[in-house]
Amino acid sequence: MSINELQDEVITEFSDFDDWMDRYQLLIDLGNEQEPLDEKYKTEQNLIEGCQSRVWLQADEEDGKIIFKAESDALIVKGIISLLMKVLSGHTPDEILNADLYFIDKIGLKEHLSPTRSNGLLSMVKQMRMYALAFKAKDSSK
């Protein structure tokens, strides 16, 4: 599936709920379904700067596609990073770098997060794009 198809799927999933308490619960459920991150990846280097909670993000390249793994010590944040991984993981660096992540606004995520969580969300997206840039640079130097 393309990044936009995955975003549309997320928008559909969230549109089933009118109440933000239900949407928060969906986020928490998504976070809880996520595989725990291997302890060896819970390093200072993998911590995302700018997040109030602790969020570790690991990126690996497999067959030209970036696979993200992450974990957070906060339930809602864990849900947010799992949404981002659902949309971006398994795509090429170029697809990630060129993606317009419209689902964040469409599901009303940014406006329903505290300012610090909103900054954290932007930091997560920025970090995922930085990984994509790094893998792209590494691939072009081969």
**Catalytic (active-site) positions:** 51
Strand 65-72 relative to strand 55-62: parallel, antiparallel, unpaired? Answer: antiparallel
Helices (H), the chain: 3-15, 20-33, 75-88, 93-98, 103-106, 115-140
* Measured distance CA(7)–CA(99) in Å, rounded: 10
Q: What angle do CA 125, 82, 135 make, to 5 degrees?
A: 45
